[in-house]
Structure 1
């Protein structure tokens, strides 16, 4: 497997995972505790764009790069779990060094 697509995927995963964390732990408290719903609108839109980009990157890795389907399934699952992309990135980092 080429290293460049995997590096791009790892970067995209960390961006998407980071945007989820910002949404959950910054924007949501701002909305519900401080009455600032604009925070969720802005961060939610950015996160939505990054999530769609991440899903397209999963499809690219699956069909073009031909990585195992189990990684694609795991990539989709971790996108919904806070800190999931960080843990998955560590697994992919080990793959990259092999």
Structure 2
């Protein structure tokens, strides 16, 4: 599962950065200064990268046996600026916490 998590984390960051550039730089340039180049380039790239994000999320969710609701919410995280960063951290914590062996607490006698 380590490879699937790494793939997910990398594409989540790439999609998050692309969406942030699109919203924070591209949209103001397009609608404020009539310069649509950044939106055309980054928007197209984000669309293709989002498809990879969906595939990586699906792969990771099947390997981790997530419920459908969790999988869909993580998939939607790539559509809202900055939420993919939050989702990536949450997913990383869910999976690394699940892999940690639990040591029993000592019982006082």
TM-score scaled by length of structure 2: 0.77
Q: Which residue of 2 aligns with 1:32?
A: 31
RMSD: 1.6
C-alpha distance in 2, partners of 1:93/1:79? 16
Q: Which residue of 1 aligns with 2:19?
A: 20
Alignment of 1:37-76 (within 5 A): 37-63=36-62, 65-69=63-67, 70-76=69-75
- Counterpart secondary structure, 1:79: helix
C-alpha distance in 2, partners of 1:62/1:72? 6
Superimposed CA distance per residue, residues 40-96 of structure 1 (whole angstroms, 9 cap, x where no aligned partner): 111111111111111121222233x24302431221221222111111112122134
Q: Give runs of ≥4 in structure 1 deviating > 4 Å.
A: none
Aligned length: 96
Residue segments in structure 1 that go unaligned for 5+ positions in a row: none
Residue segments in structure 2 that go unaligned for 5+ positions in a row: 98-109
C-alpha distance in 2, partners of 1:82/1:67? 27
* Residues 91 and 56 of structure 1: CA distance in aligned 2, closer, same or farther (over 3 Å): same
TM-score scaled by length of structure 1: 0.85
